Structure 1
């Protein structure tokens, strides 16, 4: 029951069609929100940013860590998955990219469970490849393994 990853030119915060949808994206573990895809998320809904900040502030007593997923409902049939897959943030002085493929792998496994439970399709930009500095050829197989191979419909959006 495997599916292919669909690719579209458009806005991942506005997935078309009926049915439950999860918009997935990668966040950092440094409590920073304000650059990259999260800007588009925050323009559309306030809840994902507020939930991420609260999750980060309470990290001493919750599951906030690399590989964790926080599902935030934004509309009746739309959720945003804040996936912690980036260690720190990119800077001019830092030579190491912040992407953590193992954390994205773990987060996608959890996302698969959420999507299955909600009977939801998953929509995303090329996660982990923007500010996190990851390579799509390493992330795409993780999506295929955890989501499309489980029959979960996935659409990846590239900006026009």
Structure 2
């Protein structure tokens, strides 16, 4: 079985051939304005617009923890908006990250990656503003994606 490939760089510019899925974690309250989403929005307006519409119309769709929205931004590039955090603040119920929601969204991401024959690219999802621990997220990625033969690259931003 292959492993996750770790590189230093920007997950919004994967330098591999073929179809690419850029995955990141969103919150369940429709907020978009801090963290990795800013890098996405600097490159493409579509993921934010699609996410906001998905949240706005949530009574009539599948928006919620564990859901995944796929937005095509270039011929060979898709962005996966994965709802994996409850709210945006650490409070009495702990940090916003929801590992079970990330796990469910990763399952949907895997299905889409296989359908598109795509590689997956992401920052350390759920570990920035969501407050998660990589030691809990990494095994989910290995189980849901790597074990199914999907090439996964995780980007650590080089400053």
> What stretches of structure 1 of length at least 5 have no aligned partner?
none
Is 1:108 matched with 2:123?
Answer: no
Give the CA deviation at 1:62.
Answer: 0.3
Aligned with 1:130 (options 115, 128, 134): 128
Q: Secondary structure of 1:19's match?
A: coil
- After the TM superposition, which residues 56-71 of structure 1 pair with which residues of structure 2 at under 5 Å, given as runs? 56-71=55-70
Q: Secondary structure of 1:110's match?
A: helix
Give the CA deviation at 1:17.
Answer: 1.8
In the alignment, what sits opposite 2:47? Answer: 48
Q: Secondary structure of 1:84's match?
A: strand
Deviations 1:12-66 (A, max 9, x none): 0000021000000000001100000000000000000000000000000100010
Q: Secondary structure of 1:27's match?
A: strand
> What stretches of structure 2 of length at least 5 have no aligned partner?
none
Mapped partners of 1:31, 1:109: distance in 2: 22
Mapped partners of 1:90, 1:159: distance in 2: 23
Mapped partners of 1:137, 1:31: distance in 2: 27
In the alignment, what sits opposite 2:150? Answer: 152
Mapped partners of 1:106, 1:32: distance in 2: 20
In the alignment, what sits opposite 1:24? Answer: 23
Mapped partners of 1:89, 1:112: distance in 2: 26
Give the CA deviation at 1:3.
Answer: 1.6
Aligned with 1:120 (options 99, 118, 121): 118
Runs of 4+ in 1 over 3 A off after TM superposition: none
In the alignment, what sits opposite 2:8? Answer: 9
In the alignment, what sits opposite 1:73? Answer: 72
- Across the aligned residues of Structure 1 and Structure 2, the Cα RMSD in angstroms comes to 0.7
Mapped partners of 1:113, 1:85: distance in 2: 17
